Chain A
Amino acid sequence: MLDLTAEERAAAAGESGEGAAMAMRIVAESARLMGAPRLIPVASAHIDGALYHGDSGTLFAEKLVEGGARVAVRASLNVGSLAPAGCAAIRLPPHERDMARRMMRAYEAMGCEPSWTCAPYQAGHRPALGTDVAWGESNAVVFCNSVLGARTNRYGDFLDIACAIAGRAPDYGLHRPENRLATLLIDLSGLSPGLRRSDVFYPVLGTILGRAAGGAVAVIEGLQGCTTEDRLKALGAAAASAGGVGLFHVAGVTPEAPDAATALGGAPPRERITLTASDVEAALARLSTAGETERVDAVAVGSPHLSLAEIDEVEQRMAGRRLKIPLYANTGRHVVGPLEAQGRRRALEEAGIVFVVDTCIVVTPILPELEGAVLMTNSGKFAHYAPGNTGYAVTYGSLGECVESAVAGRLVREPRAWR
C-alpha cells in the first residue's frame, strides 16, 4: 500500500496549485500501479515528453502550464520534433508544426533546460553515483543507471515531467539497491580481442543483450580495456530498443561492477550465456532489413546523438572527400555549438553532411519519401526503429562502411576478421 506524506497529500489536493496537484496525482497513481510503498525525493530529471506524437501531449503540457506548474529540480529536455538549431528540413504539416512548437514552448515555460538531446549525459547533465533521479528516454535511462551509477527507472512521457514538478518518484525498481544486482552473466571471453575492440560490435552486443535480458539485469564479462564511453552509449541504446533493459553492468568497467562477483551480489548467476562469433554474426545480420542490395539512399548516424569525438571520427574518415549521398549527423546543441565556433560546421555541410540538431530522423519526418528506399546506419537504435518510423529499409554497418558508402553512393563493405 502506498503511504503518502502529509505534504504530498496536500500537494495532490491542490495546495500548491492545480498543475502541481495533477503532477503529484500522476506520480502517486504510478506508484500505486507499481506497488511502491512510498515516494522518494529525486535530484534531477530528463524529460522525454516534449516530443510531438499528436495533439494530446501538447494539450497535457499546456494544462500543466495553465495550472502554474514549475519543475522543482534540474530538468533537461530530450529531443523535440522541430530543429530550431539544425539545418535539416522537417516535413511536418502546418498544424503538426504549430502543435509541436507549442509543446516545446510549454516545457520550456515550466523551467526545463532547452538541451534538446537524447544524450544529456554528454551535455553536462551527469548525476552522481548513487543519486536518485527521474529520467526518461530509454537510452538515457540505461546510460544513467549503468555508466553513471545514478538510479532511475524508465520514466515515460508525462511521468518524467510529473516527477520533475513533484520532485518525487515512486520508490521501486532500480531505485532499490537489491534490484540493481545482476542475475544474468554474459561471457565474451570466447570472442576475438579485435571484435571486442570494434565500434560495430557494440550495437550488435546491445541487441543480443536486449533480447536475452528483457527486463533482467546482466553483467558482461570480458570487455575490460575494450570500452569507451561512446561504445557503452551504443551498447545501452541498442539494448534498450531491443528489450526492456534499464541497467547493465560491465565487469571492471562500470561503477557498480568492480568485478562480476560484486555485480552479482556474491550469488551465482541464474543464467550464463557464452557468446560465439557465430552468435554475433547472426545478430549483426538481423539488424539489416534491406536484404542483398547495393542501394543506399541516405546514411544516418547519431542515435543516440553524436558526441564531439564521434564527429571527429566522421570528419577524419571523410578525409576531405565529398559525399554522393547525404549523411544525416544527428546531434545536439552541445556539439554543433563548438563545431560552429571552430568553423568546422560549414565545411562539413559543404562536403555533404546534413546536421539534424535538437531532434533526429526517426522521430520527425526528415528523410525524403522514396519508393523502396534504403537507409544505412551504424546505430542499433536507428536499425530498430527506422523501418517502422521512416519507411526506409535498413542496412547496418560500421561507421567506416557508412562514410565509404556515402562517398561512393552505394553500399561499400569492409573485410571483417572476427574469428
Chain B
Amino acid sequence: MALKATWELKAEILLPGGPIGGECLALTAPISFWGGVDPRSGLIIDARHPERGRDIAGTILALPGTIGSSSASAVLLELVHAGRAPAALLMDAPDAILLLGLVVAREMGWPTPPAYRLPATEQKQLAGKRLSISAEGVIRAE
C-alpha cells in the first residue's frame, strides 16, 4: 500500500463496486454515524466532532475509526436510500456494524458504494484531494 511516484495507492477491497471519483473527506477523529451524521442530509452533526457541519454525501469518506452506537448501519443504509451516501468508504479497520448498511443495501438491490481498507496514516495525505478509485481498489489523484 505504499505511495508510488505516480501517486497511486492500492487499497484492500472490503465490499466491491465499480470505479468512482470524488473529493476525499478525511475525518480527523473517529465518528459514530448514529448521532454523528444526519441520515437525511449527510451532514456531520456531532457537536464535538472536528468536522462538524461537513457534508459526507458524494465524498470519498476516509474514516480513521468508528465508535458508538450499534445503529450506525441503519444510518448508512438510509443515506444510500436517500442518495446522500458517500461515493466510497476508506476504513482503517473493517467495522462490521457500519459496513452492514452496505451489505443490506446490496440485498435490497440498491446502488451501493464500495468500501476499501486503508490505514489511517495513509488516509491523511488524501485529505481534500480529488481522487479516482478503480474497481480493483487503486486510488489515484485526479
Which residues of A line the B interface, CB within 8 A? 22, 25-26, 29-30, 33-34, 48-49, 51, 53-57, 59-60, 63, 136-138, 141, 153-160, 170, 210, 214, 240-244, 289, 362, 384-385, 387-389
User: Judging by beta carbons under 8 Å apart, are A138 and B75 in contact?
Assistant: no
Q: Interface 1/0s, chain B 24-37, versus A by CB < 8 A? A: 00000000101110
Contact for A57 among B14, B15, B70, B74, CB less than 8 A: B74
Main secondary structure of the interface of A (DSSP, over half): helix
Chain A residues with Cβ below 8 Å from B103 are 26, 29-30, 33, 158
CB contacts under 8 Å to A, within B44-103, are 45-48, 65-75, 77-78, 80-82, 94, 96-101, 103
Chain A residues with Cβ below 8 Å from B66 are 244
Chain B residues with Cβ below 8 Å from A158 are 73-74, 77, 100-101, 103-104
Chain A residues with Cβ below 8 Å from B1 are none
User: Judging by beta carbons under 8 Å apart, are A154 and B74 in contact?
Assistant: no
A153 to chain B, nearest CB (A): 7
User: Judging by beta carbons under 8 Å apart, are B68 and A51 in contact?
Assistant: no
Shortest Cβ-Cβ A-B pairs, 3 listed: A54-B78, A156-B97, A56-B81
Chain A residues with Cβ below 8 Å from B46 are 388
| CA gap between A159 and B75 in the complex, in Å | 14
User: Judging by beta carbons under 8 Å apart, are B70 and A136 in contact?
Assistant: yes
User: Judging by beta carbons under 8 Å apart, are A153 and B74 in contact?
Assistant: no
Chain A residues with Cβ below 8 Å from B69 are 137-138, 240-241, 385
User: Judging by beta carbons under 8 Å apart, are A56 and B71 in contact?
Assistant: no
User: Judging by beta carbons under 8 Å apart, are B108 and A388 in contact?
Assistant: no
User: Judging by beta carbons under 8 Å apart, are A156 and B47 in contact?
Assistant: no
User: Judging by beta carbons under 8 Å apart, are A48 and B107 in contact?
Assistant: no
Chain B residues with Cβ below 8 Å from A155 are 70, 97
| CA gap between A271 and B34 in the complex, in Å | 30
Which of B80, B82, B99, B105 is the most central at the interface, judged by chain A CB atoms within 10 Å of its CB? B99
Contact for B36 among A33, A48, A170, A388, CB less than 8 A: A388
User: Judging by beta carbons under 8 Å apart, are A60 and B71 in contact?
Assistant: no
User: Judging by beta carbons under 8 Å apart, are A56 and B80 in contact?
Assistant: yes
Which residues of B line the A interface, CB within 8 A? 14-15, 32, 34-36, 39-40, 45-48, 65-75, 77-78, 80-82, 94, 96-101, 103-105, 107-108
13 contacts between A and B (CB under 8 A): A25-B107, A51-B71, A53-B34, A53-B39, A53-B75, A56-B105, A136-B70, A156-B97, A158-B77, A243-B68, A384-B35, A388-B47, A389-B45
**Closest residue to A59 on the B side, CB-wise?**
B108
**Closest residue to A137 on the B side, CB-wise?**
B70
User: Judging by beta carbons under 8 Å apart, are B78 and A156 in contact?
Assistant: no
Chain B residues with Cβ below 8 Å from A385 are 35, 69
A383 to chain B, nearest CB (A): 11
| CA gap between A55 and B71 in the complex, in Å | 14
| CA gap between A30 and B1 in the complex, in Å | 24
User: Judging by beta carbons under 8 Å apart, are B65 and A153 in contact?
Assistant: no
Given A156-B70, A244-B66, is A53 in contact with B47 using a C-beta cutoff of 8 Å? no
Chain B residues with Cβ below 8 Å from A156 are 70-74, 96-98, 100-101
User: Judging by beta carbons under 8 Å apart, are B107 and A157 in contact?
Assistant: no
Chain B residues with Cβ below 8 Å from A22 are 107
Chain A residues with Cβ below 8 Å from B108 are 56, 59-60, 63
Chain A residues with Cβ below 8 Å from B15 are 33
Contact for B100 among A138, A159, A384, CB less than 8 A: A159
Given A63-B108, A159-B100, A387-B47, is A56 in contact with B67 using a C-beta cutoff of 8 Å? no
| With A56-B82, A160-B70 already in contact, 12 other A-B pairs whose C-beta atoms are closer than 8 Å | A51-B71, A51-B74, A55-B81, A56-B74, A56-B105, A57-B74, A136-B70, A153-B96, A159-B96, A214-B67, A387-B48, A388-B36
